[in-house]
């Protein structure tokens, strides 16, 4: 088993999913709070990027290598922590809301919103690993392949 990556292999990884919590609560909270949740997720991604950059600088020191690793971490985090999961939870919640509205019209708006929030929150742990693995595959097939030394 390899070295444990603090930002990607521990509970800290879930900070990258703050925006999914925000998206889940979208029916109940102001849009400004949802946007703030994206700021938390993006800050997590920048912290991981800085960590990967610093570790590469300490181990290797070559500017090109540091730049390549910085780009890799930044792209990976932007896709795996912000864009793909945010879009996924947003769509899960939107579809849930529409299905509840159309298929169960007798459910009042407040309980319907609470059900949508619960569905969004329960979806987060399910989507984490598949998205992370999918982004690894995407990065291996594109960026990492293109910039091999």
Residue 2: its pLDDT value, please?
A: 77
Residue 1 belongs to a domain: no
Residue 27 belongs to a domain: yes
Q: What is the DSSP letter of 7?
A: T
Residue 11: its pLDDT value, please?
A: 87
Residue 1: its pLDDT value, please?
A: 61
Query: Which two structure tokens, joined as six digits, stand for 47?
Result: 């912290």
Residue spans of the chain under pLDDT 50: none
The label of the residue with tokens 């950059």 reads 53
Residue 4 belongs to a domain: no
What's the predicted TM-score (pTM) here? 0.89
Distance, CA of 11 to chain centre:
13
Split into its structural domains, the chain has a count of 1
Its domain, for residue 87, covers 11-146
Q: Are 23 and 89 in contact (CB under 8 A)?
A: yes
Q: 31-59 vs 63-77: helix axis angle to the nearest 10? A: 150
Residue 36 belongs to a domain: yes
Per-residue pLDDT of 8-41, as tens digits, reads 889 888 888 899 999 999 999 999 999 999 999 9
Instruction: Report d(CA 76, CA 146) in Å as an integer.
Output: 15
Residue 57 belongs to a domain: yes
Residue 2 belongs to a domain: no
Instruction: Report d(CA 113, CA 33) in Å as an integer.
Output: 16
């Amino acid at each position: 088993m390899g070295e444990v990556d603090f930002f990607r292999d521990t509970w800290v990884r879930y900070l990258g999913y703050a925006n999914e919590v925000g998206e889940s609560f979208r029916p109940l909270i102001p849009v400004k709070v949802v946007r703030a949740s994206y700021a938390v997720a993006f800050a997590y991604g920048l912290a991981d990027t800085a960590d990967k950059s610093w570790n590469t600088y300490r181990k290797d020191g070559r500017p090109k290598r540091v730049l390549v690793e910085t780009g890799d971490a930044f792209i990976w985090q932007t896709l795996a922590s912000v864009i793909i999961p945010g879009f996924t939870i947003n769509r899960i919640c939107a579809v849930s809301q529409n299905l509840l509205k159309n298929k169960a019209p007798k459910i009042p708006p407040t309980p319907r919103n609470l059900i949508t929030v619960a569905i969004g929150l329960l979806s987060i742990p399910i989507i984490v690993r598949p998205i992370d693995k999918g982004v690894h595959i995407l990065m291996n097939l594109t960026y990492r392949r293109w910039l091999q030394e």
